[in-house]
Structure 1
């Protein structure tokens, strides 16, 4: 095993909400539930949503696993993979001490890894179940609870209070993809499950470039990222078959 004392764990939603509040205080305007349906590229880009049209001199595409048909170059290099989390009812102090006595965030090294940690109120957050079908399981609890019970059999009696999940963006080489499609269109995607830290790095690189503060983005633009084979229809099934091979290797 490996312990990284230079890292930590935090509440990602609280971080997101706080950063949104700071951005709004600095003059940014945030429009939720405004799905983009088309992008027209040019010296001035036109971004169309279902209800509005936005014209901009600089455009940053950060759709990641949800970029879809907005840009075929980007969508061919990032594959959506489902990742899910369940949260138990609060553990007793004895249960929490037995499960994670040093309150560390943990992940294993399997292809379809498990990851888990304690929340501030002593719930066990248990995630994993990396899927490549593009579909969510009918019940996240039913899909993940057996994994939790295998790792923590003495917590099998604990009730599951919450379940959630969504698609993360996987790149073929597992490196973040950050760069420019043209002089005024930037992109960042494919964090491969490490989005909390990699998104902040990517955002800073893009902001520095837009403001002519640095050219550090060029380091990432030199990295070659392959397109996933199979096209939109067969890309996910082909990767699922490949990942099945690696899961068998994990078993044996």
Structure 2
């Protein structure tokens, strides 16, 4: 047993050592709570700056969304740049784009520099689910080239997208050659391996139960305490009751993925000709890509409860067959779910609770890029270079109406409305 829920990623994981829980008391410059992308990126960048770092993980490294997601390393933020310009102004939107670009570059650079074996492949294709989405995608390519100098977006007309993706569902697309896709758990495990080589102490099965608002802070667990000058909250959807002041700003949402049996090279490329990641333009998106062994990894459907569907394979198979009806005879080998955190504006929530307690959360489905960036910016802020972190922290992310108890009914109404819009012509 690995301690992770069964998934294709766990079955193909590389180097998943068990790490002992914390027993006793220790000190560190920085204590990080959570061993996903945010926590491990922060730990690595802090260790490279000479800080002593302890990471506490309640489960296993990469147990949360970092080890279960769709593997799509997308450009930008969850909201497109035109929307960010409208909400925050042109200058701020440009700064956020530059940060997101640094996030993608950081992921790729870490993979190359530390030889992290995680099946990194280039390209994400955004597919127009509705006819009216295609002109918007074409305008987006023009806007990004004109206003941001980003020349890696290419509009794909309807006749070409049907050659690139073996589905009649789409009305055009936008190919982002600067984006990529990868094996998310192996990327996370690779970060942990590098952290350990840099002297970071990572404790698994060690849940933080209390944090004192003192300087230094004391982080208590069932069997020990860490005393640290700085604390990083990198819990995201798994924050729970550890810090009520920011829990209401995020909504845990469950998403689900299936992996088919191996399809063989020719059948796999008949689905996705160029081996890019694909995601559509629906509100609750479908996203999919090919694995290294030519399986289709297809993500689709969400729920908003504490429980996953009883039959995840059947739950996701339905949207998969809506896109690829030719896969009706294909066996599903793996099916799993994971929990991510969204915010009301779908913009991540960065901030400080006290001068020595810092956090980042709510990546809203853009976690590989932005969470890895978050760790890097947290390390800069802890080291006293907070300008880039503050660019994110100055964005005011509100609580969900009703706080942690009543946020779900309002979300459900909104999701039902957007789901209905997805189904309309």
1:134, CA displacement in angstroms?
3.4
Which of 132, 139, 160 is residue 332 of structure 2 equivalent to? 160
- In the alignment, does 2:190 pair up with 1:190? no
1:139 offset after TM fit, Å?
Answer: 1.9
Q: Which moved further from structure 2: 91-100 or 17-26?
A: 91-100
2:237 pairs with 1:65: yes
Aligned equivalents of 1:153, 1:52: Cα separation in 2: 54
The answer (yes or no) to whether the contact 1:113–1:130 under 8 Å persists in 2 is no
Contact 2:312–2:336 (CA under 8 A) maintained in structure 1: yes
Aligned with 1:20 (options 173, 189, 192): 192
Match among 253, 275, 282 for residue 103 of structure 1: 275
**Structure-2 separation of matches of 1:140 and 1:53:** 39
- Alpha-carbon distance in 2 for matches of 1:134, 1:230: 18
Alignment of 1:1-252 (within 5 A): 1-252=173-424
* Structure 1 unmatched ranges of 5 or more: none
Distance 1:112 1:206 in 2: 30
State the alpha-carbon separation in 2 of the partners of residues 175 and 206 from structure 1: 17
> Hey, what's the Cα distance between the residues in 2 that align with 1:197 and 1:139?
30
In the TM superposition, residue 214 of structure 1 has moved relative to its aligned partner by: 4.5
Bigger relative contact order (CA 8 A; separation at least 6): 2
SS class of match (2:175): coil
Q: CA RMSD in A?
A: 1.2
The whole-number CA distance in structure 2 between the counterparts of 1:142 and 1:34 is 34
Count of aligned pairs:
252
State the TM-score, normalizing by the size of structure 1.
0.96
Asked if structure 1 preserves the Cα contact closer than 8 Å seen for 2:213 and 2:354, the reply is no
Could you tell me the TM-score, scaled by structure 2's length?
Answer: 0.58
